[in-house]
Amino acid sequence: MVSVDKKKRMKIFKELENFQQRDFCFSSGHILGSMCAQPHPIAREAYIQFLETNLGDPELCPGTKEIESRFIAFISKLLHAPKTSVGQIVSGGTEGNITAMWIAKQLSGKKEVILPESAHFSFQKIASLMNMKLIQVPLTNEYIMDITEMKKKIHKGIAAVIGIAGSTELGTIDPIPELSDICSDEHIFLHVDAAFGGFVIPFLKDLHYKVPEFDFTLKGVSTISIDSHKMGYSAIPLGTLMIRQKHWLESISVESPYISSEKQAGILGTRSGAPVAAAYAVAQYLGFEGYKKMVKSCMDVTSYTEKRLKELELSLVMKPTMNVLGVKLKKPGQIVKKLSEQGWRVNKVERLSCIRLVLMPQITKQIIDEFIPVLQKICEEVGEL
Ligand code: 0PR
């Protein structure tokens, strides 16, 4: 162990702390716009314990590799993945989407992607990185992909169709069962972006909310991306891409002569085992029952927030599908700026002229009670109310 000079250490940590003080932190409860959560305490502990591990060299860390396999088995069960499937650990939704499109392009040899207008901006990166063309489908009045319009876009050059299960802007769920039928008839790769909704929808179903199927029980679903650093209640960076057929991974594998495994699939080489251990620890700690309780509590806070906003006579873009609320405003940018000055972080969605509130697990009704008068005052000042 390297010895640490106490004086130098103190000076450096003082400097770090000064910078950190400028950050918004989840523990304040004042971050209402982020899709990430304050990591569960179990995640924090496991993360630190596995700081030096490298899953890019699996023979160096066979124990951590086993944790990864067990974590993937957990996700596989959650998403009803078939025995033929395989999971690929990724850094989050962006890498999950990139990896899925890489596979779709390799398998089909085609370059065009059909996706809803609500798709995350990571697909713009995909188009640029992989020279793919995005074909956008308009949304219905319920802010989900319009299937009639989608059908019109199908042609021989399509590499993949994207369905969103928990959209970034409003938490909506595209009609994945219909997309599955169409893609299975047309033999087109269907990727479901459940980066946010993957840890919500299965539990909403258990809680008897009316939500469409979105997982591998639908035979046309090829891949699903799901993030532990969003509603998985774990630490950044961690997502999983579940892939229906294990052999599809070969299409994105290269020989890896310098390390213990013969081949390496995916984008990254060296990658930390810490977020994997953290996500596994949280999954073990909460189990499906714990996640169900967490989702129930987020939905209770969502309904409460909805009620409090209605009392202010502010309207929502739509009835929320999950724990994401779009609040209609004439000047969302100005409201976000003023809220930020008061120490509250929410995100604006200019396209829909709204602000987005995400009711993550650390947000309580008490926090909403603190937030509402601040929002009210600002709205009155700028003439929204
Ligand atoms: N797919 C969906 C449906 C998403 O909502 C997001 C991110 C991604 C993919 C990309 O995921 P990564 O950012 O993990 O690669 N959605 C949020 C957004 O862009 C991410 C976010 C998280 C934003 C925390 C702000 C924040 O504080 O709005």
Q: Where residue 257 falls among pLDDT bands split at 50, 70, 90?
A: confident
Tell me 213's DSSP state: -
Average pLDDT over residues 299-325: 97
* pLDDT of amino acid 274: 98
* pLDDT of amino acid 140: 98
What's the CA-to-centroid distance between 73 and ligand 1, angstroms?
Answer: 24
* pLDDT of amino acid 98: 98
Ligand 1 neighbours (beta carbon < 6 A) = 34-36, 92-94, 97, 120, 122, 164, 166, 168, 193, 195-196, 227
* pLDDT of amino acid 338: 97
Best residue for ligand 1 mutational test, from 117, 168, 347 (most atoms within 8 Å of Cβ): 168
Share of residues in the chain with pLDDT > 90 (%): 98
Atom of ligand 1 nearest to the CA of 167: 3
Nearest CA to ligand 1 atom 20: 35
Nearest CA to ligand 1 atom 22: 35
Atom of ligand 1 nearest to the CA of 36: 24
* pLDDT of amino acid 258: 85
* pLDDT of amino acid 385: 87
* pLDDT of amino acid 185: 98
Q: Where residue 259 falls among pLDDT bands split at 50, 70, 90?
A: confident
What's the CA-to-centroid distance between 63 and ligand 1, angstroms?
Answer: 30
Q: pLDDT tens, 37-60?
A: 999 999 999 999 999 999 999 999
Average pLDDT over residues 321-346: 97
- State yes or no: pLDDT of 74 exceeds 90: yes
What's the CA-to-centroid distance between 35 and ligand 1, angstroms?
Answer: 6
What's the CA-to-centroid distance between 31 and ligand 1, angstroms?
Answer: 15
Residues 6+ apart with CB under 8 A from 173: 144, 164, 165, 166, 167, 197, 201, 211, 212, 214, 321
- State yes or no: pLDDT of 199 exceeds 90: yes
- State yes or no: pLDDT of 313 exceeds 80: yes
- State yes or no: pLDDT of 306 exceeds 80: yes
Q: How many residues does the chain have?
A: 385
Residue 272: strand, helix, or coil: strand
What's the CA-to-centroid distance between 93 and ligand 1, angstroms?
Answer: 7
* pLDDT of amino acid 1: 82
Domain boundaries, the chain: 42-283
What's the CA-to-centroid distance between 234 and ligand 1, angstroms?
Answer: 14
Beta-bridge mates of residue 264: 254
pTM over 0.95: yes
Nearest CA to ligand 1 atom 28: 168
Which ranges constitute the DSSP H helices of the chain?
A: 6-20, 41-49, 62-78, 93-108, 122-130, 147-153, 176-186, 201-206, 274-311, 332-341, 365-381
- State yes or no: pLDDT of 260 exceeds 90: no
Nearest CA to ligand 1 atom 18: 168
What's the CA-to-centroid distance between 195 and ligand 1, angstroms?
Answer: 8
Nearest CA to ligand 1 atom 10: 93
Q: Where residue 196 falls among pLDDT bands split at 50, 70, 90?
A: very high
- The angle at the Cα of 375, spanning 370 to 381, to the nearest 5 degrees, equals 135
| CATH T-level topology, domain 42-283 | Aspartate Aminotransferase; domain 2 (3.40.640)
Q: pLDDT tens, 214-227?
A: 999 999 999 999 99
What's the CA-to-centroid distance between 186 and ligand 1, angstroms?
Answer: 30
Atom of ligand 1 nearest to the CA of 227: 14
Q: What share of the chain is helix, strand, coil (3-state, %, to 5)?
A: 45, 15, 40
Computed over every residue of the chain, the mean pLDDT equals 97
Residues 6+ apart with CB under 8 A from 56: 259, 264, 268, 269, 270, 271
* pLDDT of amino acid 262: 86
